[in-house]
Amino acid sequence: SVKDSNGRVLVHCQAGISRSATICLAYLMKKKRVRLEEAFEFVKQRRSIISPNFSFMGQLLQFESQVLATSCSVEAASPSATLGPKSSSTPTSPFIFSFPVPAASPTYR
């Protein structure tokens, strides 16, 4: 398998901005047990144009709660769980949404 051979996987969508970014964020959150903020910064450093749509961000926030709630280790959910070295040349900014984030998934009729 790709994992066994330390291979790489290309994740893509039409523009590489929302759908593929969302999949990558969810994968990192689940496999590395990191918060959305850290996964977002990690992916953004590698693909600066990512911008998951509003609905995807809401779903990622819900997924973050599930992932961190199922974590067996307190250390895994802490800020010390990282994806890799932080670049000192890249300024870190707070992860702030400029729009309201849904508290629960909407009910469609």
**Residues catalogued as catalytic:** 13
51 close to 65: Cβ distance less than 8 angstroms? no
Residue 33 Cα to chain centre, angstroms: 10
Measure the CA–CA gap between 61 and 37, rounded to whole angstroms.
10
R_g of the chain computed on alpha carbons? 15
Backbone angles phi, psi at 100, to 5 degrees: -65, 145
